[in-house]
Structure 1
């Protein structure tokens, strides 16, 4: 009966569809729409079925998908068809990403195009460009306060520049990833400006209230994202004399997804950028999409319905485009953003593995893999046709979102252990060489997140400033060690621009009044291309890091067990300083790689008899793919030097 209702509605919609749509060749569109409309109708009805204008909104939804399909270039439509046939294409080990700001990595989008050979030299073939949509001149949260969803900010270029870049990248078999900010707009967006005039249509695009009664009820259960710089979740707007929900910053107005017009607008935005050549769209702040009284307004069931609906609609118009869920949430919650289907990612094909990132920094600080081993055991399995985005650093801060149960299981007290990590990574702890900065520090609770570049956090800044040669050597080893983890763990490794040449903290943000109160800008550098040139000069830090990464990336692409088909097995070896796991080919038992990592500053040993699935090996029976040499083994005991790793394969 339900299916009959959905198909009846679809027939009515198609009968009413406007001439500028039905006169076009929509063969593939109609095939995909018919296959997906039952799910689309069901989700749309769950979210908006109680509205009197439901049928009208459903009509608008289908017409939006159709119009964007018509605008999609033939080359992109053909790419959609190819990716539908090879639906696991993004799970291949050949993909290696880098995240960057276009006007930090280069001058602008046009200048970026001239640097594509740099990515290819390193082995990077997926480039995530941080927000480039039009935003205000002053504070814009690093581009995440968007004032126009369909224009490129003129400080980074033009639509023509982006289209040229995407075409050139496609010719080089490189993927373009872009941001779409789903949760909010700038208060300078056209919708917000119209709302300020009292336009009822656009007032309903946001959460606005005449008195503090409802906001105060929300505040009882909502958390604060930036408690020090942007306390509370509502801002009084003088022009409309109303309280506006502003979860992130007072200049970012939260969109009201209770309104289907908002959903359709944002779907149109997603499809618009897919049509500009984006292969992957990073959906920002997806955990915050649905607001409900009495809840934290994070991870609500309806937020997942919205993502499922966006995915189903995109499957109709641009099925070759992937979604990244930017959901930095608890480990038990993050896998839900893949969708809770047994195999297929019903929401986002890719999710940030923030837990893995934070656990790696715990291992750096403690110089052991105790919590890392425990935390990975507790990380839920991903879906087969979904993948992690694994990273060491990104544009954002480092949060310590471990599960307290894992901290306790590892022998620590949660609050004091987090305090230790904050002190260590900010250099307050005795003998710590880290030079991070506390971010969003809560004086009352002692909670904090951490800013800082990778090189400064692992001690390279300290080493250079003090001339400590041993500290410099160890910091370079740590940089390579951390990247070996994201390259071998399973998923798409995402490097962060500047890390490949050891870029240090950049304090120049303190001279900019629009940035000085946000110390995350300390790790959002302008690349020094003179420094980058040193990657060709042996015995320099830049040479050692760049070429060390290049070597690992090359090896990764050659080893098919590094593809991501849930083909990883954690190995408990009884040594808390080691992190050991097995990557294997499910169809070929002997096609496997044993990853052994030592986070300690002293050499460690591993009795190969403890790795039961690998049997007993003598000297010469194992080969390290990274060094291209046989590892040191004595009496069946493997020796792992300090801050180092092996990618071992049987000979």
Structure 2
């Protein structure tokens, strides 16, 4: 272990030299090395683990459910008394009663005290929002389900004590925040919002202009100050101790800022990810890092590094491309993108999702869909009750940045309008996603088939509120126990697909994947297990008309017995054609069980 410990020290020093080149001198960097290693929980060589390179820390059974801590609540009759049960306890109850056999991990969105952005403007990183519960509630969920936790590392709340100390120019945080001058060249800065980049703040030292990538309540940290880095390593250690198995690095692409540059994806940002990876994997080697980078596809892929940055990256191009496929009835763009995606090396994988607490980002579809096609998609979503969020480009133009709509309503029809295939189209979308290379993430409101929450948009004034409904537990149970309700049908159908997926070796996140060429109306791909013992052909009719697929086009091996895992029936080898109803998916396997 001594050699591993020495190697860790050398690696950490190298990371710091890259990050702080021109900022810190060699002696300052050397002094930080032991501090970082100690803060991550490695006090001696005996505490230091050797991280196995290119090890897959996941398998086909891994399914992550994304939820807020209070997506489901139990209200008392008199609301002034608050919730009958702390929401985190209610969440655990829901998981045990309705999701126990289908979920391996739970991503609880920021569960800390906050001032805005539904949790992503953190006031205090060290405590649980008391309206949700406490650390014991988090630990109980973590003990039974793998816990995925947000590390909101780019910014914090302007109401945090750190920022108040910045204003007072005294105490912890007084030098934590990034400032710039309005006279700086900031034209190239890439923004996901239309608000002013700089926030004028009167401090004890005079007027300063604080950098705010997202909103003026979300003030950006200055990682040029190593004390900020040390503080976040402390936070990481706390979350590990509370049961975190997966870290989601929120808005990580914006971490390092340089006036006169785009201030996104800078090499210092990548090096910070590598440093955090090095520290975490030597302390807790089974922990996984996922980077949240809602940016064009080519840039997103760079966060794999050389299998030394993120273990997994959000597959941000999937939601807009799959949505476009199902509302146009044409899978051409989805196929082209799939064929261009590099297979993830062992030790890395994709994090697949088609709905989340945020909207459906359109930047990851730039260069894949034309401006006209993106506009057409946005118009379609507005026809289905959705909203569009905008961003400012370098030349001051407004471009659609995000579609805000509940996924089940996004799929209520096609470009031609709403139709009778909403549920089938919604299940088809998940069947496609669940079979793909990578780990699936399913938003709780997709699992429950929750529609647009227009009232929340009106009450909050936030477009994203449309897909952040808060269920009353008793009301939800009434729906789920009624087999005729849409919510019960969605949960039942998705649970069935997930249970099948979790027992198929060919659905391992790193199993081989090839895209099939079956025309514009049939989307298909082939998965093969690492031992080559199982093949699954995933075939989906993405149109509103019944379609036929020739068995010869799929190229099934004739002397094997094939079985549709979803339909639970064998495939007749003498049949020339497979007949797929509108939005039907078949998972055709040479094994009837996993």
- Please list, as runs of the form range in 1=range in 2, the aligned pairs for 1:511-530 lying within 5 A after superposition: 512=459, 515-516=460-461, 518-529=462-473, 530=475
For structure 2, the residue ranges without an aligned partner over 5 or more in a row are 74-85
Is the CA contact (8 Å cut-off) linking 2:153 and 2:250 kept in structure 1? yes
Equivalent in the alignment of 1:320: 286
Equivalent in the alignment of 1:584: 528
In the superposition, the TM-score normalised over structure 2's length comes to 0.89
2:519 is aligned with 1:603: no
Cα drift, residue 440 of structure 1: 2.7
Equivalent in the alignment of 1:131: 110
Cα drift, residue 416 of structure 1: 1.2
Equivalent in the alignment of 1:193: 164
Is the CA contact (8 Å cut-off) linking 1:384 and 1:566 kept in structure 2? no
Change (3 A) 1:63 1:447: closer
2:274 is aligned with 1:308: yes
2:573 is aligned with 1:594: no
- Please list, as runs of the form range in 1=range in 2, the aligned pairs for 1:298-377 lying within 5 A after superposition: 298-339=264-305, 341=306, 345-377=307-339
Cα drift, residue 446 of structure 1: 5.2
Change (3 A) 1:640 1:558: same
> Per-residue displacement from partner, 1:392-411 (whole Å, max 9, x unpaired)?
1000111223555544xxxx
Equivalent in the alignment of 2:210: 244
> Per-residue displacement from partner, 1:558-602 (whole Å, max 9, x unpaired)?
1111002251111122x11111110002432x5200000111001
Cα drift, residue 489 of structure 1: 0.3
Equivalent in the alignment of 1:264: 230
Equivalent in the alignment of 1:565: 510
Equivalent in the alignment of 2:568: 628
Change (3 A) 1:382 1:119: farther
Change (3 A) 1:53 1:193: farther
Change (3 A) 1:151 1:371: same
Cα drift, residue 118 of structure 1: 3.1
Q: Aligned partners of 2:139 and 2:503: how far apart in 1?
A: 31
2:449 is aligned with 1:502: yes
The structure 2 residue matched to 1:549, chosen from 459, 479, 494, is: 494
> Per-residue displacement from partner, 1:467-511 (whole Å, max 9, x unpaired)?
x9x72xx11112211111221102111111122221111123245
Change (3 A) 1:148 1:503: same
Is the CA contact (8 Å cut-off) linking 2:40 and 2:233 kept in structure 1? no
Q: Aligned partners of 1:641 and 1:632: how far apart in 2?
A: 17
Total equivalences in the alignment = 569
> Per-residue displacement from partner, 1:599-644 (whole Å, max 9, x unpaired)?
10011222222234x3558xx9531011111358885222221111
In the superposition, the TM-score normalised over structure 1's length comes to 0.81
Query: For 2:244, what is the secondary structure of its paired residue?
Result: coil
- Please list, as runs of the form range in 1=range in 2, the aligned pairs for 1:18-167 lying within 5 A after superposition: 32-50=4-22, 54-69=26-41, 88=55, 90-106=57-73, 107-118=86-97, 120-121=99-100, 123-136=102-115, 140-167=116-143
Cα drift, residue 53 of structure 1: 5.7
Is the CA contact (8 Å cut-off) linking 1:363 and 1:369 kept in structure 2? yes
Equivalent in the alignment of 2:389: 439
The structure 2 residue matched to 1:416, chosen from 365, 372, 393, is: 372
Query: For 2:570, what is the secondary structure of its paired residue?
Result: coil
Q: Aligned partners of 1:223 and 1:109: how far apart in 2?
A: 36
Q: Aligned partners of 2:3 and 2:367: how far apart in 1?
A: 48
- Please list, as runs of the form range in 1=range in 2, the aligned pairs for 1:395-544 lying within 5 A after superposition: 395-402=357-364, 405-407=367-369, 414-427=370-383, 434-440=384-390, 445=398, 447-459=400-412, 471=420, 474-510=421-457, 512=459, 515-516=460-461, 518-529=462-473, 530-544=475-489
Is the CA contact (8 Å cut-off) linking 1:419 and 1:446 kept in structure 2? no
Query: For 2:103, what is the secondary structure of its paired residue?
Result: coil
Q: Aligned partners of 2:179 and 2:27: how far apart in 1?
A: 26
Cα drift, residue 527 of structure 1: 2.1
Is the CA contact (8 Å cut-off) linking 1:356 and 1:376 kept in structure 2? no
Equivalent in the alignment of 1:212: 182
Query: For 1:162, what is the secondary structure of its paired residue?
Result: helix
Query: For 2:588, what is the secondary structure of its paired residue?
Result: strand
Question: Which of the pair is proportionally richer in helix?
Answer: 1
